[in-house]
Amino acid sequence: MRTGSVRVVATRPRSRVRAVAALAALGALALTACGTDVDDIAVGPGKGWPAAHHDGRNSGVSPVSGARSLSLRWSRPAAGPIEQPVTIGAEGQLFLTTRTANGCAILSFQMPTGRKRFCDVLGPNAISSPTAVDGVSNVYVGDDGAVNSFNYLGQPRWRTPVAGVPVSVQFTGDSRLLTITQSGQVDVLDRQTGLRTVPTVQLLGEPDFLESPALTRPASGQGLDDCGTGGPRCPIANISAIDGATGRFYVTVWQPGAPSAALIALRYADNKIQQEWRAEMLTEGSATGPALSADGNTVYVGDNSKRLIAVDAADGRAKWVRPLGFVPSGGISVSGDGLIIPAGDEGYLLALRDTGDGSEIAWERKDLALRGAPVQTAGDTGYTAAAIGDGLNLITFDTGTGATIDSDVLPGAKGTTTGTSVGPEGEVVVATRIGEVFVFQPE
């Protein structure tokens, strides 16, 4: 069954005079520290939580067998608010971005104790950038006008100028770094040096300096306030999804002045980036980033008209549209066998199955009000933060039935969470938006 209106346009990005696109030339050089041309650092969806939604396809699924009984190991404040999910290295080191009075913007904690490993100063809008972690716990993160890399001790490796603030940081299939700013600048960077490996692409079109000779550089953080809700002042609001095998990646774009946001597909291959299709389908803007099915054939995305949309990855055709009754903000967990669990701070725990030309409800828990992003693990176990009474609990649930297996209080937690992350030994990490980190350990 299909509902809603979807328009697909197979075309190249429109060229439009935009101040936010004026910076390609200004950010053409990378400032690099010492490095090597040999890249032997593993990346990818291994143990830990290497990216905001675990992997390049934004699956929200861990290969670790999830524990069915947890206990709180530690909790601590970050000294500032948190907007993005916590990432976790293969050895269990935690990374997050925040905004503090002393300028500390990227924090790292040790898993066993919660002891702070480092705290580095970055631009104030680093809080809006997700982190990504490679196999030896080098961390990659954006801030005001740059992409940065630090080693596991917090020592700077390199810094590369970009236009805006990177709101999407992902690893490519050939072990490079794909970054996209809220103003639409797309770069592929060498992880060892920070150097650009392909020409920069501007998703909003290249500026015409002859028509607008007085075009100036906008503030790096312009429009970021709208990114959390996918609003029109934030052209690129979400983390992209990438198919490492094909190089195709998917981005939500709200072109300034357009009536709705679009999902676009680009391909990184042969040392260049090219657009393949564009689908104008996200009514009232994007609510989630795209998430890929395990076979790479379907892209799932949510919009602010409370719909979940399944899209053919090859041509941008809508396969089906499902009204949810709530905005699926925060992410979509998609397991290898096709179980789809949307997030949403105003929604409830719900699992769907893709039937090809439609969807069906696998199970639903209307009694569990979501306050974050559900995730799935091996062993038919899932986790999510939910509102219980006046506070928050971490709910452990059976992904086959939706039944609650365990419920653990987040002491003193209020509001909502940024996401749920699973560590290499089955630890579960939740961070509240007001700025506290909770770590649960398997019993």
Give the helix ranges, DSSP H, for 256-407. Answer: none
Contacts of 195 (CB under 8 A, 6+ apart): 30, 32, 160, 189
- CB-CB neighbours of 412 under 10 Å: 11
> Which residues are CB-contacts of 131 (< 8 A; sequence separation ≥ 6)?
52, 84, 87, 95, 96, 97, 106, 139, 140, 141, 169
DSSP state of 195: -
pLDDT > 90? residue 95 = yes
- What is the value of pTM for the model shown? 0.91
Is the pLDDT at 36 greater than 70? The verdict is no
Q: Which residues contact 302 (CB under 8 A, 6 or more apart)?
A: 286, 287, 288, 308, 309, 324, 327, 328, 329, 332, 342
- Cα–Cα nearest to 145, from 106, 181, 179: 181
Distance CA 347, CA 307 (A): 12
Quick one: average pLDDT of 28-37?
A: 43
Q: Report the sign of the C-alpha dihedral through residues 324, 330, 331, 332, in that order.
A: negative
- What is residue 46's predicted lDDT score, i.e. its pLDDT? 65
- Report the C-alpha gap between 314 and 288 in whole angstroms: 20
Counted residue by residue, the chain has a size of 443
Residue range 96-117: mean pLDDT, rounded: 96
Burial of 83 (0-12, 13-18, 19+ CB in 10 A): buried
- 169-173, 204-208, 376-380, range with the lowest pLDDT: 204-208
Average pLDDT, the chain: 91
Instruction: Summarize the confidence of residues 47-71 as an average pLDDT.
Output: 96
Domain boundaries, the chain: 7-33+45-214+222-442
Is the pLDDT at 24 greater than 90? The verdict is: no
Terminal CA-CA length for the chain: 44
Task: Tell which wins on pLDDT, 20 or 156.
Answer: 156
Token couple for 33: 């520290």
Which pLDDT band, with edges at 50, 70 and 90, does 218 fall under?
confident
Q: With beta carbons less than 8 A apart as the criterion, state whether 426 and 47 touch.
A: no
Question: Is residue 384 within 8 Å of residue 410, measured between CB atoms?
Answer: no
CATH fold for domain 7-33+45-214+222-442: Methylamine Dehydrogenase; Chain H (2.130.10)
Tell me what pLDDT residue 1 has: 42
Q: Which two structure tokens, joined as six digits, stand for 187?
A: 């770069």
pLDDT band per the 50, 70, 90 thresholds, residue 47: confident
Q: What is the pLDDT of residues 128-153, one digit of tens each?
A: 999 999 999 999 999 999 999 999 99
Mean pLDDT of 229-252: 97
| pLDDT of 267 above 60 | yes
